[in-house]
Amino acid sequence: MAANNLEQLPDDMFLLENLEELNLASNFFSSVPSVGSPAIIFKTLGSIKRLKRLNISRNKFFKFHSEMLDQRNDFSQLQELDISFNMVDSERSLWYLTLTRAINVVNITGNPFA
């Protein structure tokens, strides 16, 4: 789903419960909602139970949107996150990742604070 000019996720994305890897790089996802809420995007992604690798690089996120996330259930299997070349301007914007159990790789290259 990379480089498809997406601004929001399909409504039934959460049904992909066996999906382990998702590449959403180089789309038009943003922390400033134009079409879809960034919190809902992250909630939808977090609800994919077996998701292990997520690439959301080269979008326009200011932070890892955790407003709607349940730390016991959302992103519970996530091991690798690529949030490089976004607009994240502080480590505090990624605080939720410290609560995830499985995460071991986070790529932050190309963000203002990196």
Domain range for 21: 1-114
Q: What amino acid occupies position 1? A: M
60 CB-near residues (< 8 Å, 6+ apart): 28, 29, 30, 31, 32, 86, 87
Residue 76: CB partners within 8 Å, gap ≥ 6?
49, 100, 101, 102
pTM > 0.85: yes
Give the pLDDT score at 79: 98
Number of domains comprising the chain: 1
State the pLDDT confidence band at 17, using cuts at 50, 70 and 90. Answer: confident
Asked if residue 96 has pLDDT above 80, the reply is yes
Strands (E), 1-114: 21-23, 53-55, 80-82, 105-107
Structure tokens at 3: 């480089």
Assign 114 a pLDDT band (cuts: 50, 70, 90): confident
Looking up residue 34, the CATH number of its domain turns out to be 3.80.10.10
Sheet holding 80-82: strands in order across? 21-23, 53-55, 80-82, 105-107
Contacts of 39 (CB under 8 A, 6+ apart): 65, 67, 68
